[in-house]
Amino acid sequence: MFSNEHKLFIKKEKKKKKIIIFSQIIIVILLIVIWQFLSDKKIINTFLFSSPLSIVNTIYNFDKVELFNHIMITTYETLISFLIASFFGLLIASILWSNDMIAKVIDPFLNIFNSLPKVALGPLIIIWFGTGIDSIIVMALLISLLLSIINIYNSFILTEKNYIILLKSLGANKYQIFFKIILPFNKKNIFNAFKINISMSLIGVIMGELLVSKRGLGYLIMYGSQVFNINLIITSVFILGVLSYIIFFIINKIEKYFFK
């Protein structure tokens, strides 16, 4: 049984969470209302900045099946990129942690490749991998995988040294240290890296779709810019924001379940 003080604390935390969510909703609603008000009063140019009602009309008038397909394609490419980057990011970071010599050899190359502007590699990616989904996933991986390796590896090497020394004094090997100390102590950091991964994967997918795709939300943005359809561009960006939030929300739920 929980004490009265603990029950009171839980009640305050739940109330605080509700206030935060309510405040976030109010901010979003206020921004939408102000945006529409400025559009209605011609304070801003709706041809350049669109309006909430224009976005709703664009979604309503768009072919529902076609729009759904564009969203699903971008979602599929993002999830594939995210899963590959997360798996190999964790795997390579673990290898680097387990072998200091390999880590010292690879480290400068990781930082150099991570600092390269990935868009500049776009033409090479198209030549090497074609103009299909492969190029888009490779572009997303170039952005998310290296960052994932660096973040997870840095978390591993910054683990509290006293615990490692204690296990070594008890005769533990690297395998035991990794699974008893390194992974458990860095669960939060690994999930944080995954959260960054999903954002970077989505950015990479959109960049790839802008370059080569004829499907997906990135393609709609590029097409909208070509025909100067601002409503289509902003609508696509809005849907991207909603999609990003949904994926991030799911990862948060998985994280809470995992830690629970």
8-state DSSP, 1: -
pTM, to two decimals: 0.82
Q: Residue 2: what pLDDT?
A: 62
- State pLDDT tens for residues 103-131: 888 888 888 887 877 777 777 888 888 77
Half-sphere exposure of 16 (CA within 13 A, CB side): 6
CA gap 164, 157 in Å, rounded: 11
Q: Residue 6 above 80 pLDDT?
A: no
Q: Residue 260 above 70 pLDDT?
A: no
Half-sphere exposure of 147 (CA within 13 A, CB side): 20
Q: Residue 34: what pLDDT?
A: 93
Beta-carbon neighbour count of residue 105 at 10 Å? 11
- State pLDDT tens for residues 188-246: 888 888 888 888 888 888 888 888 778 888 888 888 888 888 888 898 888 888 888 88
Average the pLDDT over 28-42 and give the result. Answer: 90
Q: Residue 71 above 80 pLDDT?
A: yes
CA torsion angle for 248, 251, 252, 256 (degrees, to 10)? 180
Average the pLDDT over 150-159 and give the result. Answer: 89
Q: Residue 42: what pLDDT?
A: 84
Q: Residue 1: what pLDDT?
A: 58
Determine the distance from the C-alpha atom of residue 131 to the mean position of all C-alpha atoms in its chain, rounded to a whole number: 23
Q: Residue 91 above 90 pLDDT?
A: yes
Provide the terminal-to-terminal Cα distance of the chain, rounded to the nearest Å.
18
Reported confidence tier of residue 252, pLDDT bands at 50, 70, 90 = confident
